[in-house]
Every structure is written in structure tokens, then in C-alpha cells.
Amino acid sequence: SEIPGGESLLSAAAAAGVQSFVARACDARSLNSPPSQASSCLAHLDLTANLLDNRAIEQLSTALTTTMTNVTVLKLRANYLLDASCIASLARAVSDRSFQCVDLGETNASDEGAEAWAAVRVVELNLENASVGEKGAASLAEGVESGRVVRLRLAGNSKELRGVSWRRRFEACCARRACELAMEEEGGSQAQEEDVEVT
């Protein structure tokens, strides 16, 4: 099921003001639906390329932790106004939840955001072109080792992560945990995705 008028809300998010949009979209009580329906309405929240700012993400954090929502797919891709500390604070706010997909590609997540999201249980975590460096990558490797992250997308990040040493480190921990990895081969070309079987 979907939010009544959900498509028009999403398309009008930037024009109407992202703060009011986030408040309306995430406040399940405003939908006049039974709690079970309201929860399922908000399973998929796509805010890609909506010029979200830090204040909007603060409202999103509050909504996700204080209303009856069941967001399992959260897409914040290409929101260039968000800073790393805000992206990290959102992760900490929802650290007790589980997600099917969190897309932070083409954001300023950097190491701080990557470290925070590595501590959240996410089936697919997308941090492509998100300025992740060695510190963030180390935390992501721990997230994979712990089984919190099942599929990890890291293409287009710091050149330090494109060399042989980091690729081998990720391949080793992904093989142990049957994690699917997408990142560059040495030289910068994106590696083909594979499902890695534990032997």
C-alpha cells in the first residue's frame, strides 16, 4: 500500500519545502489510517535528489523514532546539502531498526557517516561516490564481519580504497560472511558484482 497522494507529495517535495514534506510523509497519524495500515504505507521512503538540508533530516529522525512507521527502504541519494554529521546522527537515531536498503550514494557521508551506518543492520548499504576513506571503510568491514551489512556498494570513493590492499581486505571479509560487494578494481573500473558463497 502507498501513502494517499504519495507520488504528488514526492514530486512536490522540493517546491513545497522539504521540512513540511518530511513531516507530512512520516507522520503516520496524519494519514487517518489504522496503525497497521499507516505503518505499511511508509515502508518505502524515496527522497532522492530533493535538496534536503540538515533540518529536514532532523525532522526525519524524529518522525522515524516517534511515529508508527515501518520504513525499511530509505533513499537519500544525491542530497548534496547534507553534511556528514547529520547523516551520522540519522544512523544513530535509527540504530535499533533493520533496513532492506539505505541509499546514501552521491552524498557527503564521508567517514563519519559510513562509520555510523556500519553499526545499523542494513541488507543493502549504498555509499557510492560518498567520500568514504580508509577510516569509514574499516568500520564498514567490521559491519560486514558482524553480519549487519549483507550487500555493500562502495564504487567511486577515495582513491585509497581502489588499490589491491583494500579490495583484498573487503573480499576476504565478504567471502567469510557471504556479503555481496561492489567497488572498483585496481585502476578505478567498477568490479562486477557477485554473490559470494561461504565454503
Determine which of 11-25, 151-165, 174-188 has the lowest per-residue pLDDT on average.
11-25
Q: Mean pLDDT of all residues in the chain?
A: 77
**DSSP-based three-state secondary structure for 68:** coil
Instruction: Give the pLDDT confidence score for residue 107 in this predicted structure.
Output: 96
Rounded to the nearest angstrom, the gap between the alpha carbon of residue 23 and the centroid of all alpha carbons in its chain is 19
Does residue 164 contact residue 137 with C-beta atoms inside 8 Å?
no
Whether residue 77 is predicted with pLDDT greater than 90 in this model: the reply is yes
- Identify the residue whose cell numbers are 548499504: 125
Q: Which of 67, 69, 27, 68 is nearest to 44 (CA)?
A: 69
Neighbouring C-beta atoms of residue 33, cutoff 10 Å: 17
Give pLDDT tens digits for 112-126: 999 999 999 999 999
Per 3-state DSSP, the chain is made up of helix, strand and coil in percentages (nearest 5) of 45, 15, 40
* CATH 3.40.140.10 is right for the domain spanning 6-182: no
Q: How high is the pLDDT of residue 101?
A: 97
The answer to which of 2-11, 47-56, 122-131, 178-187 has the lowest mean pLDDT is: 2-11
pLDDT the model gives residue 161: 80
Q: What is the pLDDT of residue 21?
A: 60
> Are 115 and 109 contacting, i.e. CB atoms less than 8 angstroms apart?
no
Neighbour-count burial of 189, counting CB atoms closer than 10 A to its CB (0-12 exposed, 13-18 middle, 19+ buried):
exposed
